Amino acid sequence: MRDVSFGQYYPTKSFVHALDARAKLLLVVAYIAFIFFVDTFAGFAFAAVCLCVPIALSRVPLKLILKSLRAILFLIVFTMILNVLFFRPQGGESPLAAWWIFTIYRNGLEYAAKMAVRLILLIVGPSLLTLTTSPMELTGAIESLLKPLSWIRFPVHELAMIMSIALSIIPTIMEETDKIIKAQKARGADFESGNLFKKAKALVPVLVPLFVSSFRRADELAMAMDSRCYRGGKGRTKMKILRYGWRDSVAAVAMLLFGFGILLLRYNWFGVHFITLLY
Amino acid sequence: MNIVELKNVSYTYRGETPVKAVKNVSLEIGEGGFVALCGHNGSGKSTLARLMNGLLTPDGGDVTVGGIPLGGEKKTETVNGVEMSYEKRLYEIRRNLGIVFQNPDNQTVAAIIEDDIAFGPENIGVPTAEIRERVDAALKSVGMSDYAEKTASRLSGGQKQRVAIAGILALKPRVIVLDESTAMLDPKGRAEVLDTVRRLNRDEGITIVLITHFMEEALLADKIYIMNEGEICLSGGREIFWTERAKLKEIGLKTPPAAELAEALRQAGVPVGREVCGEAELEQSLAELFSGQWTVVNDQLEGDSKGQIKDSGQLEGKPDHCPLTTDHCSLPVVIDQRELSFSYSPDTAFRADALKEVTLTVREGDFLGVIGHTGSGKSTLVQHWNGLIKMQIPKRKQRRRGAKQGTLFVLGLDLSRKDYGAPKRREGQGRGRKTEKGLPAYKALRSAVGMVFQYPEYQLFDETVLKDVGFGPRNLKLPPEEIAERCKWAIEAVGLDYEKVKDMSPFELSGGQKRRAAIAGVIAMKPRVLILDEPTAGLDPQGRGEIMDLILKLKAESCPTVVMVSHDMDEIARRCSRIAVLNGGRLEFDLPPPELYGAHADRLTEIGLDLPLTARLVRALRKRGIELPQGICKEDDFVAEAAKRLKR
């Protein structure tokens, strides 16, 4: 499981994978913004159904998407419990149950459920981005989107280069950390016992060699880059050019429709009450 | 035409004490040639490589690559009627001459291989469509096309270096310099890289400069330069290995292993030609000599060499009773391991079985060699022995599915007990079982079984050598006087000058000294078993010899049981009393070298492991129908046998 640099990227060929990384990034930002407009169960249901479309199109196994939720399961449960236990209604709603300092209200339960659904939607959307976009593509997208900032002398190319190098060197550094920890353990080092101060001090024999070797690596890498004619972003071309294609237009239109639907449900535009009819 | 020309080039590293690394070197390399540059670590070879493409600017002298003079930084020069600024010339030179560096991990700029290879052409502004073509062609040239979209971190060392070569090829260079690019690789990786550059030289006409301290690699070249103390002291074709033997010896360099063996044979009276320095030539020469006087020798070793000794050394009855004595052998058992299995991420889809029911016994006084491919389970095996990897105890569910629990006793300690291995948060505070000295049991185990990791110098951290060596003893909570005494002993035992180095920063030491200091840090714990993982990796032949001598000295004086994991078959065959061969997590053989390399040479080759030089020769000669006893794997035995039969 050393493929940290790859994040959770799931390589396959699909409509979502083929989207321009920049478009995907912007669409995810828009999606997150729209989710914050949702405040009814009907809205959440609409958002969830809509989210199923790109998930199905991405050909990513559902298991992997659910796995990204597992990491924040604790957070979801925790916020739910807090919301249920400590919800204080504005009006004079009568509690469903009360025990010691806790009182449970119907609105509290509803609020907690909405919060949980919102969190889930907020996690699944972006995780679909990282599942379908390689870190390299993402780096390229960020570089391309930040390009206007280079007008104010913001080092966009350098930033992207740093991200790219970091992604490629992380597995090596992890492996090395592992080895140094083992080597010091073999000399009787103890990283687990003692108070916080002692534990921090116990890390010195790991951090010093790690820093030394990281500097050595940086030095050697700089030399290797120099020797491959690197001279900054000036006059550079690219092998993979991000291209905005028809798929991206389709996705953008779909996102616009999605946003429209959400706003429709939220603000009840045109006086459409058809949703309430469903109840 | 000369593609690289150095004229009276000098370079000095500035610093508190300036080091004159290259002194007045002149050198001409013809286009399409294959040149080797050999010498000790620190002889100036790498500096010379860096001078060749302007990574370093010479203090004096001229560097010309592909007809373009590097020249002064401020001057504009006219090349073929075109005015070129310094920067233009510099990048033109770097495009023409690429360097592959030593460490395969420190040359990738992008996580995905094809993106990394595109880095060079992107830098020089090649149009997008052409970059793609160049990347595909470069990957094809090094035989890595299938890996274009993979991550570099999953590759073997040899594959990583081939990717690095492809990264240079994409720039369409005329010269490739390999700056000790094979030093950190295992024999398989080395062969991969050398095959690749040979092909590039032969088929694509690319000039190769091979910087190496393996003399057998130098035989690939049509011209060899030997560097010593910043100067080129010898140059010529392969004839320098017989005409200049004395001079090479004087500067402490050896000739290729086959040439060394040939020389030993000549001295024993076997009339091998003096111009023999490659393995194939030696084989040919010996074959001719042998077929001249064909004699039948009883194949004694073949008769009684057994298969895999499964039951040897196993204890009668339960090992709990008396793990330190056995009725098989008078020597006490140090490590007694039965049917030990281990898998990484056992309950997931990523499950990888690293060890499969490995049964092995190590006795006091053993020098056990552990060999096998990268990923065959060697490290997992030896890390069990000092508790760095905890034994896996199968859960009830797994047991029902047939998972067996192995047993492992080290120095009589039962490692299946919970308090070995890494302490769990609360156990570390002393809840675990303690020894008489009041140490947690796992610490006692780790002090008794010392482990020297690969490239141990990378674990040095403290302000002074003395403090660093004292790290282990301090962790054992020894009294200060004893710590001081042990540090002094350990530093002297590894052959360092105690008074001189004790207050030095470990980072000020030279490469070989650092490794010694790191070994001192392990033996200061006074281990009874010393485990070394590739102790000679990355060193030049002289350094390797010194470290091996040191290990033998430590074995004789303080630490009777030694386990060495290595890829260097000659070293293993020469020194070890027994060899354990791992293949895919299984113990394939556990035999003394003569039996292993005799009866099982074919099987070893089949699983892709190298043989020692002498065993390779014996095998090849036997295939030619020459009756040589199997099982010769040491130079001395080989020389004696040949002398007995061929002496005039």
Closest-CA residue of B relative to A175 is B153
Region B575-599: what's the mean pLDDT?
91
| Partners of residue A225 in chain B, C-beta under 8 Å | 109, 119
Residues from chain A that touch B122, judged by Cβ atoms under 8 A, are 236-239
Q: Does B388 touch chain A (CB under 8 A)?
A: yes
HEC readout, chain A: CCHHHHCCCCCCCCHHHHCCHHHHHHHHHHHHHHHCCCCCHHHHHHHHHHHHHHHHHHCCCHHHHHHHHHCCHHHHHHHHHHHHHHCCCCCCCCCCEEECCEEECHHHHHHHHHHHHHHHHHHHHHHHHHHHCCHHHHHHHHHHHHHHHHHHCCCHHHHHHHHHHHHHHHHHHHHHHHHHHHHHHHCCCCCCCCCHHHHHHHCHHHHHHHHHHHHHHHHHHHHHHHHCCCECECCCCCCCCCCCCHHHHHHHHHHHHHHHHHHHHHHCHHHCCHHHHHC
Q: Per-block average pLDDT, block size 10, for chain A (279 residues)?
A: 53 87 92 90 90 90 81 86 79 74 81 90 88 84 88 88 86 89 90 81 91 92 93 84 86 91 78 54
Chain B residue numbers touching A213 (CB-CB < 8 A):
458
> Taking CB atoms and an 8 Å cutoff, what residues of chain B touch A187?
446, 471-472, 475, 521-522, 525
Residues 202-261 of A with CB under 8 A from B: 204-206, 208-209, 212-213, 217, 220-221, 223-231, 235-241
Interface list for B 436-465 with A (CB within 8 A)? 443, 446-447, 450-451, 453-454, 456, 458-462
- Would the CB atoms of A190 and B101 count as touching at under 8 Å? no
pLDDT value at residue B330:
64
The whole-number pLDDT of residue B517 equals 94
pLDDT, residue B327, reads 41
Question: Which tens digit of pLDDT belongs to each residue from B205-222?
Answer: 999 999 998 888 999 999
Which residues from chain A sit within 8 angstroms of residue B94, using beta carbons?
226-229
B53 with A227: Cβ contact below 8 A: yes
B190-194, B385-389, B395-399: segment of lowest average pLDDT: B395-399
Is residue B369 exposed (0-12), middle (13-18) or buried (19+ Cβ within 10 Å)? buried
ipTM given for this complex: 0.84
Q: What residues in B contact A189, CB-CB < 8 Å?
A: 471, 475
Chain A, 126 to 145: residues with Cβ < 8 Å from chain B are 134-136
pLDDT for position B427 = 39
Please tell me if residue A166 touches chain B, with a CB cutoff of 8 Å. no
Q: Return residues 86-115 of A near B (CB < 8 Å).
A: none
Q: How high is the pLDDT of residue A7?
A: 57
Task: Identify which of A206, A220, A227 has the shortest CB distance to residue B94.
Answer: A227
pLDDT tens-digit series, residues B222-259: 999 999 999 999 999 988 988 888 898 888 888 899 99
Say what the pTM is.
0.83
pLDDT score for A224: 94
- Contact of A196 with chain B, judged by CB distance below 8 Å, is answered with no
Q: How confident is the model at residue B315 (pLDDT cuts 50, 70, 90)?
A: very low
The confidence score (pLDDT) of residue B562 equals 95
- Which residues neighbour B132 within 8 Å (Cβ) at sequence distance 6 or greater? A239
- Asked if the C-beta of B345 comes within 8 angstroms of chain A's C-beta atoms, the answer is yes
Report the C-alpha gap between B278 and B257 in whole angstroms: 8
Tell whether B434 lies on the interface with A, counting CB pairs under 8 A.
no
How far B48 CA lies from chain A's nearest CA (Å)? 14
Q: How many CB pairs under 8 A join A and B?
A: 189
Q: State whether residue B215 sits within 8 Å of chain A by CB.
A: no
Tell me the per-residue pLDDT of B178-197, one tens digit each, with 9 for 90 and over: 999 998 888 889 999 999 99
Give the A window 20-59 contacts with B, CB below 8 Å: none
User: Is A5 part of the contact surface with chain B (CB cutoff 8 Å)?
Assistant: yes
Q: Does A67 touch chain B (CB under 8 A)?
A: no
Q: Residues B139-183: pLDDT tens digits? A: 999 999 999 888 888 888 999 999 999 999 999 999 999 999 998
